[in-house]
């Protein structure tokens, strides 16, 4: 086995430094993975530039990855050496650099690991789903109270005419339908039987349309007032509003959308200016995937997600992540990946590297 090398951040704001690190030994309930796909998330770029979570340094970022099991600790039963797996860095591993994705060999908790049963399931797709889809399940089904999709792929039928229920499905607004989380939210909500209105740029409209899940796709590049008018015209959003970008710009847009009527929207991230929202508008955000996997109250939903729903969608391809943008050069391209995310130069794709290159 080759020596371990990692991309380290020694202090907030510093660029990544490639350095030799220890070859970790898995303890009870842990496994060692040869990392073959690091799937970057915007939080990785934010962590490099600010100490959001008062992290322990040196820091190895990277919260989702996939690869091959090299060794297992005592008590590990669901995977064995040679298995292909996808991993999310949840719970206590979040502040332990041994579990960070940006290295050739990373530790993983068995409970945060999904064995990939099919050789046809790529590392790209599996690493693109495991954490981002957990975010969607938590945001929509825990925080927003929406129904889960049926496992058999069917959709609840419309209520019969003249029933006490509305004659249509509830409608959800997902702002940012071509983002990594927004695209999955559109698919998840549609599979659960909701009408979904979403937004995308003209360049990313084909990606959103290809998912065959959105009822309406609104051009978010049009003039601001026209955009707001079109969003309102496709309401009311009795299923809720999920803002999947989490920027200052999109937060202000949601504030303007709800300014006259008041209301709540759910977002993926805090942003500057959140404290200046109108008094009648509430922005709600959370560490959604952590809520799903670490909160004891959500134990049953976590089991449903990790043991039934996620394996099923990976098998049948009914929910799929944005296509990958692979950067050559392995760990040498990690800093470039973080810069691309920080500068907002990635749209409709997921950035990945293979640390073995």
Contact in structure between 215 and 197 (CB atoms under 8 Å): yes
111 band by pLDDT with thresholds 50, 70 and 90: very high
> Does residue 146 surpass a pLDDT of 70?
yes
Which string of DSSP letters, residue by residue, matches 71-138?
EE-TT--S--TT-EEEEE--GGGGG-GGG-SSBSEEEEEGGGEEE---TTS-HHHHHHHTTHHHHHHI
CA distance 217 to 220: 9
List domains and CATH numbers for the chain.
4-116+322-353 (3.90.180.10), 132-290 (3.40.50.720)
CA distance 226 to 9: 43
**Which pLDDT belongs to residue 159?**
46
Mean pLDDT for the stretch of residues 276-294: 95
Q: For residue 177, give the nearest of 203, 205, 202 by alpha carbon.
A: 205
Mean pLDDT for the stretch of residues 309-322: 95
Mean pLDDT, all residues of the chain? 92
155 band by pLDDT with thresholds 50, 70 and 90: low
Mean pLDDT for the stretch of residues 333-356: 94
255 band by pLDDT with thresholds 50, 70 and 90: very high
CA distance 76 to 60: 25
**Which pLDDT belongs to residue 154?**
62
**Which pLDDT belongs to residue 56?**
78
**What would the pLDDT profile of 16-38 be if each residue is shown by its tens digit?**
999 999 999 999 999 999 999 99
> Does residue 165 surpass a pLDDT of 50?
no
More confident residue, 267 or 58: 267
CA distance 343 to 198: 23
Mean pLDDT for the stretch of residues 176-194: 96
**CA-to-CA dists, residue 61 to 15, 99, 182, 299, angstroms:** 12, 9, 23, 27
CA distance 27 to 304: 27
299: alpha, beta or left? (left if phi > 0; alpha if psi -120 to 50): alpha
Which string of DSSP letters, residue by residue, matches 298-312?
GHHHHHIIIIIIHHH
CA distance 92 to 293: 11
163 band by pLDDT with thresholds 50, 70 and 90: very low
13 band by pLDDT with thresholds 50, 70 and 90: confident
Mean pLDDT for the stretch of residues 55-61: 84
Task: Give helix then strand counts, H and E, for the chain.
Answer: 11, 15
For the entire predicted model, the pTM comes to 0.93
**Which pLDDT belongs to residue 167?**
46
**CA-to-CA dists, residue 132 to 86, 176, 179, 314, 351, angstroms:** 12, 14, 11, 13, 14
Instruction: Please state, for a pLDDT cut of 90, what percent of the chain lies above it.
Output: 81
CA distance 319 to 86: 16
**What would the pLDDT profile of 199-230 be if each residue is shown by its tens digit?**
999 999 999 999 999 999 999 999 999 999 99
């Amino acid at each position: 086995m080759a020596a371990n090398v990692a991309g380290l951040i020694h202090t907030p704001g510093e660029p990544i430094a490639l350095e030799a690190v220890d070859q970790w030994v898995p303890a009870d309930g842990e496994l060692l993975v040869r990392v073959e796909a690091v799937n970057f998330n915007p939080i990785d770029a934010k962590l490099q530039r600010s100490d959001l979570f008062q992290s322990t340094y040196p820091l190895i970022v990277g919260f989702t990855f996939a690869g091959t099991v090299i060794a297992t600790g005592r008590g590990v039963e669901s995977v064995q050496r040679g298995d292909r797996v996808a991993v999310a860095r949840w719970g206590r591993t979040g502040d332990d650099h041994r579990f960070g994705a940006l290295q050739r060999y990373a530790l993983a908790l068995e409970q945060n690991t999904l064995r990939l049963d099919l050789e046809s399931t790529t590392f790209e797709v599996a690493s693109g789903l495991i954490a981002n889809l957990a975010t969607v399940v938590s945001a929509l089904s825990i925080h927003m109270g929406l129904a889960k999709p049926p496992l058999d792929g069917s959709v609840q039928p419309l209520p019969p005419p003249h029933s006490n229920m509305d004659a249509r499905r509830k409608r959800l607004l997902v702002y940012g339908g071509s983002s990594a989380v927004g695209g999955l939210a559109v698919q998840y909500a549609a599979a659960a039987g909701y009408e979904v209105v979403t937004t995308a740029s003209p360049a990313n409209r084909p990606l959103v349309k290809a998912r065959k899940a959105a009822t309406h796709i609104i051009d978010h590049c049009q003039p601001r007032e026209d955009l707001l008018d079109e969003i309102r015209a496709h309401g009311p959003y009795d299923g809720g509003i999920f803002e999947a970008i989490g920027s200052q710009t999109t937060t202000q847009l949601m504030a303007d959308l709800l300014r006259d009527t008041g209301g709540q929207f759910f977002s993926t991230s805090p942003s500057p200016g959140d404290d200046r929202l109108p008094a009648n508008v509430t922005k709600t955000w959370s560490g959604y995937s952590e809520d799903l996997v670490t909160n004891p109250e959500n134990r049953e939903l976590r089991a449903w997600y990790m043991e039934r729903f996620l394996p099923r969608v990976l098998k049948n391809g009914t929910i799929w992540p944005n296509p990958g943008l692979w950067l050559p050069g392995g760990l040498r391209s990690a800093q470039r990946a973080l810069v691309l995310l920080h500068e907002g130069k990635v749209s409709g794709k997921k950035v990945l590297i293979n640390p073995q290159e």
